[in-house]
Structure 1
Amino acid sequence: MIRFEIPGGIFHFRVAGVLCRQGKVLLHRSEKDGYYAFPGGRVEPFEDSEQALCREFQEEMGQPVKIDRLLVVHENFFRNRGKTFHELGFYYLVEFDGEPAIPADGTFFSKELEKDGTPHLEFVWVDFARVDVLPLRPDFMKARLLHLPTQIEHVIGHAL
């Protein structure tokens, strides 16, 4: 994965998918975090961002997706668990590739497991009307869910 220590912090390259269905969006969270995020993960060296996102959905959910289009490029500077991060994030609009093999509603858990055998992530379908009250990262995406960008947006976030 493209994640490395830099002077003063950590850099990583992340991709995420915005998957909407029947007025809901798919989000995930780790038990370690108090917030939700869009499904995805880190890009591997020599892997393009679209391949990385498709791989992450397959690994985490056993579910193939198709890329529709790139929505947002996010340069994010933040602190998490006592560390400073410089994150480059690509957010894509995605859709299922074929019939979904995951629940169409409610909560389910990732196929990837932690070292202790517990699921790595909790996935949940959230109604658009409820997204605004959830702790979601990045926060700016809440407003964009109701009006998806028609052109690629470049967003810089400083939460240091």
Structure 2
Amino acid sequence: MTDFRFPAPDGTIVNLRVGILCVQGEHLLVCRDNPDFLYVPGGALLTGEPSGQGAQRGWLEETGDGKAEFTLAGVIENFFQLGGREWHETGFYYRISGETLPSLPFAALDNPGCVLEWLPLSELDAHTVYPRCLPELLRMPDGQVGHFVTDDRGQR
């Protein structure tokens, strides 16, 4: 299986991804690749892989935790530019519970350049966390699934 990420005929990168919403207390787990780029853990789905299975795989690969339980929280259609290319990304975002994490911050097991750290929810509006609609998604009541469309082309 390969990542479900490919260039469309017009050069736009089409990407299916999963994102993990890990909230403990009043903190959201985020990945930081550089000082100005924050996002939630997760990654590309594999071809032929259901999104829930991809969320479990991605979480295990990044954290080593195989005990978390996953519940779909929302779907985000995300349009942006990155690396000089247009992206059309559809993301399935899962809330998790039951996670057992090592002390933070720590480097993602599958990407040492990505540091996982806690961001206080009270500071969420003071930082840009991608995709930008995450605060709205986090406000969705448990058990409801949200659908969001973001268009950040020209924003990054």
Do the two structures share a fold, i.e. TM-score over 0.5? yes
Match runs of 1:110-125 below 5 Å: 110-113=108-111, 119-125=112-118
Structure 2 Cα separation of the partners of residues 96 and 121 of structure 1 = 23
In angstroms, what is the RMSD of aligned CA positions? 1.6
The residue aligned with 1:116 is: none
- State how far apart, in whole Å, the 1-side matches of 2:46 and 2:113 are: 19
Q: Which deviations, in whole Å up to 9, do the C-alpha atoms of 1:7-60 show, x marking residues without a partner?
A: 2310000101101112111111224x7311111001001111011111111111
SS state at 1:60 partner: helix
The match for 2:140 is: 148
Residues 74 and 145 in structure 2, CA contact (< 8 A), matched pair in contact too = yes
2:105 to 93, 101, 107: 107
CA–CA distance in structure 2, aligned partners of residues 66 and 37 of structure 1: 20
C-alpha contact 2:30 2:40 (8 A) present in aligned 1? yes
Match of 1:129 among 94, 119, 122: 122
8 Å contact kept, 1:40–1:56: yes
Alpha-carbon spacing, 1:45–1:144, altered in 2? closer, same or farther (3 Å):
closer
State the aligned residue count.
148
Q: Where do 5+ consecutive residues of structure 2 fail to align?
A: none
TM-score (normalizing by structure 1): 0.85
Q: Deviations over 1:96-135 (max 9, x none)?
A: 35xx1411xx41111124xxxxx13110011111111112
1:71 and 1:153 in contact (8 A); partners too: yes
In 1, Cα distance between equivalents of 2:101 and 2:40: 18
Secondary structure of 1:139's partner? coil
Contact 2:140 2:146 in 1 (8 A): no
TM-score between the two structures when normalised by the length of structure 2: 0.87
Which portions of structure 1, spanning 4 or more consecutive aligned residues, are displaced by more than 4 angstroms?
none
In structure 1, the residue matched to 2:77 is 75
Q: Percent identity?
A: 27
Unmatched tracts of structure 1, length 5 or more: 114-118
The match for 1:24 among 14, 22, 27 is 27
The match for 1:3 is 5
Q: What is the CA-CA distance between 1:4 and the residue it aligns to? A: 0.3
